[in-house]
Amino acid sequence: MKTYPVTDIQHYINGEFTDGVAGKSFQNINPFNNQPINAVAEGFKEDIDLAVAAAREAFDHGPWKHMTVQKRLSYLVKIADLIEENAEEISYLESLDTGLPISQTKKQAARAAENFRFYAEMVKSRLVGEAYQVDDTFINYTVHKPVGVAGLITPWNAPFMLETWKVAPALATGNTCVLKPAEWSPLTANKLAQIIDQSGLPKGVFNVVHGFGETAGASLVAHPDVQLISFTGETTTGSEIIKNGADTLKRVSMELGGKSPAIIFEDADLEKALDSIIWGIYSFNGERCTSNSRLFVHESIKDQFIESLKERVQNILVGDPMDAETEVGPLIHRQHFGNVSRYLKIAEKEGATIVSGSIPPEFKEGNYIAPTLLLDCTNDMTVAQEEIFGPVMAVIPFSSEEEVLRMANDIKYGLAAFIWTNDMKRGHRLAQSVDSGMVWVNSQNVRDLRIPFGGSKSSGVGREGGHYSFDFYTETQVIHVAIGDHHIPKFGVKKHLSANGIEK
């Protein structure tokens, strides 16, 4: 396959690629062999201060503010074009950096371009105000204005797509932004900076500071000139960010973790359900927020369904992420490999039966975990309650709709749910009763960019996607205009008399 050169990475601040103020860098590691890929500038508070100052200046005084909407959106279309032109390189860099199979990162690059095109269209057609007529006395109308500087903090599991998922609506609505990408996957964030630089976007409108969450990320969250934080990542990090943003009254959008149930009834199309379940947990190396990591199977079909699951799991192609045939690659980082391995030990201790695929011996240097089924689980086990974020699925039998609903909801998360049944009354009934931001009935995780994306309970705060992103990325202002006569109370027209009746 075609390879692309990788150089060391700098921050992108005020339209310039630059080293950090402290001159420090950290090593970026290849998950396939745990060898260094390149050095990445390590950002701290001073770098965040520079990036926020550039974004603030671009918002307050740059050409971005007074540009026509059409001109502003033309930059988004240009960025989408450039992403498409560079799609192969983006997908190569993403697979190199994350271990995600190349066939899957290709689709992510296409989705990223779509994010920009979609928001360019959405702003044109759906960023609309409302007017409230009050008889013949008033017209009250709303306008949506950009909020200011948006802080965007992203994870490593689908880095390029998730970065564009935030950058596109932030820019389309007229904000400026500072992106702090995940430290384990900096390559495509740097490529995005190169593409945006090439698009000619006015300087300071988009900035990237690389670095760690506790330093660069936390400084962005605490910065008084940053109005918004859009965050995708772990639930515990989300709650830390909400606390740290409280002093400066940050508006936050939180897309957090999940432990989503898939429920298979006996009357479902079992072949389709099987395809969807296998894809849902093992694509993206199991590092997918909406993965169906808890599988509930009706007891009447349990044995047959589990046999089919075992067969598929053992046939999944574990391989080099750069190989077009590979279905599962290595986990992002040695540390994450350690976390997932720890959960496999817990599963054993808790009494689960572990069934795994195999890892070819030539891949022993990588962070490989074979696709794994945890059979004989109960919903209260640690491995059924906590997000493992790897190619590991807990399988739990159920006997009735009431029982499975109770188990599906008996968890702190509420991101997604998947229901498989041909009884559509039951499908709708259960879909509406399950606690989750999103439900798919007889479907895998198919995305529609117009829908609200997000989770309930510990899986998120707020919704992004479609016009729902406008609630977050814009300030709604109301303007009251008197168009006729209305009563205005008269204050201060009576003479004030003192107690003895003499004018004061």
Query: What is the binding site for ligand NAD (CB under 6 A)?
Result: 153-157, 180, 182-183, 212-214, 217-218, 221, 232-234, 237, 240-241, 255-258, 289, 387, 389, 415, 455, 460
* Identity of the residue, 217 or 397, whose beta carbon is nearer to ligand NAD in the bound complex: 217
Which residue number has the CB closest to ligand NAD?
213
Q: How many CA atoms lie within 13 A of 395 on its CB side?
A: 26
**Among 89, 183, 240, 255, the one annotated catalytic:** 255
* Identity of the residue, 148 or 233, whose beta carbon is nearer to ligand NAD in the bound complex: 233
Q: Return d(Cα 443, Cα 502) in angstroms, integer.
A: 84
Q: Return d(Cα 225, Cα 317) in angstroms, integer.
A: 48
* Identity of the residue, 180 or 312, whose beta carbon is nearer to ligand NAD in the bound complex: 180
* Identity of the residue, 49 or 234, whose beta carbon is nearer to ligand NAD in the bound complex: 234
The total number of residues shown for the chain amounts to 504
Distance of CA 183 to the CA centre of its chain: 16
CA distance from start to end of the chain: 93
Q: How far is the CB of 92 from ligand NAD (least distance, A)?
A: 21
Determine the 3-state secondary structure of 243 from DSSP: helix
Q: How far is the CB of 272 from ligand NAD (least distance, A)?
A: 25
What tokens were used for 209? 């500071």
Q: How far is the CB of 95 from ligand NAD (least distance, A)?
A: 17
* Identity of the residue, 94 or 387, whose beta carbon is nearer to ligand NAD in the bound complex: 387
* Identity of the residue, 260 or 421, whose beta carbon is nearer to ligand NAD in the bound complex: 260
What tokens were used for 420? 């498989």
Pairing of strands 372-375, 138-146: unpaired
Closest CA to 189 of 229, 161, 149: 161
Q: How far is the CB of 69 from ligand NAD (least distance, A)?
A: 28
* Identity of the residue, 97 or 320, whose beta carbon is nearer to ligand NAD in the bound complex: 97
Q: How far is the CB of 67 from ligand NAD (least distance, A)?
A: 30
* Identity of the residue, 92 or 389, whose beta carbon is nearer to ligand NAD in the bound complex: 389
Q: How far is the CB of 426 from ligand NAD (least distance, A)?
A: 27
* Identity of the residue, 184 or 420, whose beta carbon is nearer to ligand NAD in the bound complex: 184
Q: Return d(Cα 466, Cα 350) in angstroms, integer.
A: 42
Q: How far is the CB of 382 from ligand NAD (least distance, A)?
A: 16
What are the CA-CA distances from residue 374 to residues 256, 283, 288, 344, 377 (Å)? 24, 17, 18, 9, 7
Is 463 in contact with 437 (CB distance < 8 Å)? Answer: yes
Pairing of strands 228-232, 149-153: parallel
**Among 183, 289, 327, 377, the one annotated catalytic:** 289
Q: How far is the CB of 113 from ligand NAD (least distance, A)?
A: 19
What tokens were used for 461? 């705060």
Backbone angles phi, psi at 149, to 5 degrees: -95, 120
Q: Return d(Cα 390, Cα 281) in angstroms, integer.
A: 8
Determine the 3-state secondary structure of 389 from DSSP: coil
Q: Where are the beta strands (DSSP E) in 147-250?
A: 149-153, 176-180, 206-208, 228-232
Q: How far is the CB of 185 from ligand NAD (least distance, A)?
A: 8
What tokens were used for 1? 């396959």
What tokens were used for 305? 């369904």
* Identity of the residue, 379 or 436, whose beta carbon is nearer to ligand NAD in the bound complex: 436
Is 105 in contact with 287 (CB distance < 8 Å)? Answer: no
Tokens 């008084």 belong to 224
Q: How many CA atoms lie within 13 A of 8 on its CB side?
A: 12
What are the CA-CA distances from residue 9 to residues 141, 189, 203 (Å)? 47, 10, 19
Q: Is 289 a catalytic residue?
A: yes
Q: How far is the CB of 233 from ligand NAD (least distance, A)?
A: 3
Using CB atoms within 10 Å of the CB of residue 84, give its burial: 0 to 12 exposed, 13 to 18 middle, 19+ buried. Answer: middle
Q: Return d(Cα 47, Cα 302) in angstroms, integer.
A: 55
Closest CA to 387 of 239, 238, 259: 259
* CA angle in degrees (0–180, nearest 5) for 391-392-395: 140
Point out the residues that are catalytic. Answer: 255, 289
